[in-house]
Amino acid sequence: MSEQAAGTFNRRSSLHGHWSSRLAFVLAATGSAVGLGNIWKFPYIVGEYGGGAFVMVYLGAVFAVGLPIMTSEILLGRRGRRNPIATMRILGAEEGSSRHWQWLGAIGVLAGFLILSFYSVIAGWVLTYIVKSLTGSFEGANLQQVTALFESTADDWVLTTVGHSVFMIMTVVVVALGVQHGLERAVRILMPLLVLCLLLLVGYSYIEGDFVRGWDFMFSPNWQALSSEGILVALGQAFFTLSIGMGTIMAYGAYLPEGAPITSSALIVALSDTAIAILAGLVIFPIIFANGLDPAVGPGLVFEALPLAFGQMPGGMYFGALFFVLVTFAAWTSSIGLIEPAVAWIVETFYRPRTEATILVAVAAWLLGMGTVFSFSIWKDKLFWQGTIFDNLEYLSTNILLPVGGLLITVFAGWILCRNSSSEELGVGTGFLYKGWRLMARFVAPAAVVLVFLHATGLIQL
C-alpha cells in the first residue's frame, strides 16, 4: 500500500477504536491537560510573578499560543489516525515532504515517557500526603515541622517507591483496558469528581480563607510587578498547561470521530483547563493569605505552605485530605495521557496486545522513575549536567523536547500541510476562522515557542 493510500485509510479509522462522542474526547483531553501544572505549578508561579498581571498575560497566551498549537495537534492526529510516530510519517509522505517527520512524533512519545517517569514519583508523594492529612500529621505543626515532614518524605526512598509504584499501577489499570473501556470510562468518572472536589474546596476557602484578598491578588493586575521574565514564564506555562508537544493530544486526536469539530473542541479544552487552574488559585491563595503565609513561596506551596495552613484551620485535616485527593485525580488523568502515545506505538509497530504494551511501557517508566526517587534521597549529591537525575529528566523533557515538539507541530500544520488538507480536516471552510488559525499557527505561535525555548535553555536572559 502506498503512503498516500495509507494516509487515506488512516484518516477513516484508528486501530484502537474511537471516542464514543466529542464529549468523551473533550473530557479526556481536558483530563490530560489538567494536572500538577494546574494545581501545583500555576498557583506558585502566579505567586512568584506578581498575581493579577501575570494571570492576564497567561490568559492571553493560552488563546494566542496554546490554542493554535493544540488545534494543530488534534488536526494532525485525526488526519493520520495512528500513533504520533506513524501519523507524522504518513502525513509527511502524503504531503510530498519527507518520512523523516516521524521524528517529530518520536519527540512527543519520548517527552511523554520521560515526564511520566518523574510525574509518577511526585504523584506518589501526593498519595502519601492524603494519608498524612487524615492521620493528623499537619495539625498544630509549625513551619519547621511541616518542612521537615516533606524533607523526610522525599528522603525516604522506600516510602516514595511505594507511592510511585501504586500510582503507576493505577495508570496501567486504566490504559490497559483500551480507549472506550479504559480511558473514556476513567475520565467520565474522574473529571466530574475532580470538579466536585475543586468546588467543595473553593467553598471551604471562601468560608475559612481570606477570599477577597485572594481574589484581588489574582484579578487586580499590578503591571509594575510583572517583569519581562514573568511574561516569558506566562508564555511557557500557557504552552505546557495544555499537554501539547508530548504526543498525547495527537494520540487522542487519532480517536476523535469523523465530523466532530476540531476548533470548538480545542477551545472547550482550553477554557476548561484554564478555568480549573483559576479555581485552584482561588482555593490556594485565600488559605495562604488567611494564615499570613507568603504566596511567593515557590514549589513548596503545595507540600509545605498548604499543609501548614490546613493544620491551623477548622476541619483542615479533612479538607487537606480532600485537596490531595483532588491533586491525585488531576495527576491520574494526566498520566493516562502521558503513557498512551508510547502504548499505541508498541501496539501498532510490534503487534503486541494492549495490556502487554501498557505493562511494558509502565515498567520501563517505573524503572527510570527510580532515578528520580533516588535523586531526592541516596543520590541527591550525585550531580551532572543540570544536576540530579530528576533535574536532567525534567530539563530535557520540559525545556527541550516539549518546545521543539510544539514548534515542529505548528510548523508542519501551518507550512507543510497544504490548505486543502488542513481546511478539510478542520471543517470550517476557508473563511475568517480558518485564516485566523493559519495566521496564528504559521507566525505567532512559532515565534512565541522559540522565545520560550530560548528562555528555558538560558540562551536569552532578561
List pLDDT tens digits, range 356-410: 999 999 999 999 999 999 999 999 999 999 999 999 999 999 999 999 999 999 9
State the pTM of this model. 0.94
Which amino acid appears at position 192 of this protein? P
Residue whose C-alpha is closest to residue 393's, from 378, 372, 410, 417:
372
Instruction: Tell me: pLDDT of 241 over 90.
Output: no
pLDDT number for residue 12: 58
For the record, the C-alpha cell of 365 comes out as 517508566
- 3-456, what's its fold? Amino acid/polyamine transporter I (1.20.1740)
Which amino acid appears at position 140 of this protein? G
Domain ranges of the chain: 3-456
Instruction: Tell me: pLDDT of 134 over 80.
Output: yes
Note the maximum CA span of the chain.
69
Average pLDDT estimate for 142-160: 94
| Beta carbons of 140 and 308 less than 8 angstroms apart | no
Which amino acid appears at position 76 of this protein? L
Q: How confident is the model at residue 2 (pLDDT cuts 50, 70, 90)?
A: very low
Instruction: Return the DSSP state at 384.
Output: B
pLDDT number for residue 462: 65
Q: How far is CA 361 from CA 315, 371, 455, in A?
A: 41, 16, 32
Average pLDDT estimate for 334-343: 97
pLDDT number for residue 368: 98
279-329 pLDDT, tens digit per residue, is 999 999 999 999 998 887 777 788 988 999 999 999 999 999 999 999 999
Gap between the Cα atoms of 382 and 165, Å rounded: 23
